[in-house]
Amino acid sequence: MTAAIVGWAHTPFGKQAEETVESLVVTAAREAIADAGLEPGDVDEIILGHFNAGFSAQDFTASLVLQADAALRFKRATRVENACATGSAAVHQGVRAIAARDARIVLVVGVEKMTSTPGPEIGRNLLRASYLVEDGDTPAGFAGVFGKIADSYFQKYGDKSDALAAIAAKNHRNGVGNPYAQMRKDLGYDFCRTESEKNPYVAGPLKRTDCSLVSDGAAALVLTDVETALGRDKAVAFRSMAHVQDFLPMSKRDILQFEGCGRAWQDALGRAGLSLDDLSFVETHDCFTIAELIEYEAMGLTPAGEGHRAILEGWTEMDGKLPVNPSGGLKSKGHPIGATGVSMHVLTAMQLTGKAGDIQVKDAELGGIFNMGGAAVANYVSVMQALK
């Protein structure tokens, strides 16, 4: 254990018409530093996760964090980006700075402002996280990319629409208790399973309820070395972490295996000396329900082609043997790209310190996080445990 989370903040996710990238960053940064019981001047380094890709006219955003307090002026500040895993890329970079003894206290902020962008532009911006040479003309944008993946999965393993609907229903049901979630409504299995005017097909076998939400929001956390963390009011340590990057073109790999996801889980669990059975819960990247289904298999919960068992037999429900996405996941919480990975770490820290309120997993001791960029291209896993 080289680093721990000692404070955090999370704005509501959703359509925040009055907010800007700057206002979201400033709010989250201020609140996280205050929550850690530290002064802004104590911060050694700042890492901002911000995807952008055209959503914000303001680029070069790392220094916006300094707007939170004049005492942050002249601190090292860097913006990182790794598609939809941008937030975890920022967190992991902060942990590495502490592990290298180059910083003792690191402020990590993740942000995205998406909803002010017109619909067609949103699709084009998100599609930039695919391999444009092969997928640049995909109808329905990134939903179309995952629609192709779902089609291929169904062709190989049979129609799993029941499982996808059950995943959507689970995550929406969980999200009701999450005060930060964009959609706090239990839609029910029947609504998620049935095509309707309110739930039309979007791409391939994926309906609207199979797709995560376009969102605005920010999350932030404060990292310290373990020695410093032991003197704070609360501390959640990184038992291990792993980052695996795969080929961008889907044509160069078996897209149904999510091999980068599998390797990241193997590496992180191996370094921690743990197995999947040791985890109390997992927050995983359900940008689309087919992604969560394949991630069950990649993390080793089921063999390939049998991910449907995990959801249909209740394994991943809140009272199952491995609750997955107790927060409601991206499906319910929303997916402001640069904020998502930071949000996952914040909500996991809340779980492990017993501060998750209505989404609390009983007796949570070890939490796993999987955040990915693109179609299992950038793969980040963190294994977390409370120190106090």
Active site residues: 84, 335
The tokens describing 318, both together, are 């809140």
Distance CA 265, CA 371 (A): 11
Contact status, residue 282 vs residue 346, Cβ threshold 8 Å: no
Contact status, residue 311 vs residue 166, Cβ threshold 8 Å: yes
Across the chain, where does the E strand assignment appear?
Answer: 4-10, 45-50, 76-80, 105-113, 201-203, 206-207, 216-224, 236-245, 281-283, 366-373, 378-386
The tokens describing 384, both together, are 């977390």
The tokens describing 24, both together, are 């979201």
CB-based contacts of 13, cutoff 8 Å, min separation 6: 180, 181, 182, 213, 215, 216, 217, 333, 334, 336, 339, 343
Which residues share a beta bridge with 14? 216
Which residues share a beta bridge with 378? 245, 373
* Per-position b or e across 315-343, b if 16+ CB within 10 A of its CB: bbbbeeebbbbbbbbbbbbbbbbbbbbbb
Contact status, residue 137 vs residue 145, Cβ threshold 8 Å: no
| SS3 (DSSP) at 194 | coil
The tokens describing 193, both together, are 């399973």
* Helical pair 141-157 and 289-298, crossing angle rounded to 10 deg: 50
- What DSSP line would sit under 304-331, residue for residue? TT-HHHHHHTTTTSTTSSS-B-TT-HHH
Distance CA 202, CA 38 (A): 46
